[in-house]
Structure 1
Amino acid sequence: MRQDQFESLQKRAEQLVDLFIHESDPDKWPGAGIEPANMEKGTRGDRYWCKKDAVATLACAQRIVSLVDAVRAKTSGGEVTPGAVVDDDGDLEADVQAAEKEAARMIETAKKKAVPHGKP
């Protein structure tokens, strides 16, 4: 899994938790403030559907959080396994380190070949 995917999953879980908080507010459900015995059949059904929808949102968030946790566990070992977060910049970083090492070697070679001041 790429780092950007991992971060997107974390963001999506947060969005779904925010949505669950909104959807699970009983004051916003149909029939709010009415005793169940006094509700019409349609109102009770709509209220039940709102509860189920909120629970489905939470279940989706929980599954994403479980996936994020599983990826963290696979990644924490340091080895690249299926599902682990991989650093897309890893190859670039290795190239930069190799170039820096080569530049340092070239500077040392140039210093050795340089003629010291005052000496022919």
Structure 2
Amino acid sequence: MTHVPADLRYTDEHEWVSTGSDGIVTVGITDHAQKSLGDIVFFELPDVGRKVEVGDSVGTVESVKSVSELFSPAEGEVVEVNPDVVDSPEDVNSDPYGTWLYRIRPASKDSSNGLLDAKAYQQLIGE
């Protein structure tokens, strides 16, 4: 069974989202996504300072099986990317919820509405 932490929110594109007390949105890929992709070998992440809209393609994740796009779960500005995941992309396979990809300063409190809770995400992936 796929691990789906209850304290996170999720996108239809299999990304997890955590909102910090400062309002900054942290984004990663889910356990389901990393299992589907297989061994991850490369991430292309958005540039810091990039303005993004919900659903924008912001980068890619490459595995031994395929290349998939990463999509923004919120409207705002990319304020940080995780250099460790660029250097060691395989960390996502062993710890998908402990390995974040990038962070966004949302344009507003409502800029990431429409995210799924854990129960809805489990239904989406059929678990």
Q: TM > 0.5 between the two?
A: no
* TM-score w.r.t. length of structure 2: 0.19
Structure with higher strand content: 2
* TM-score w.r.t. length of structure 1: 0.20
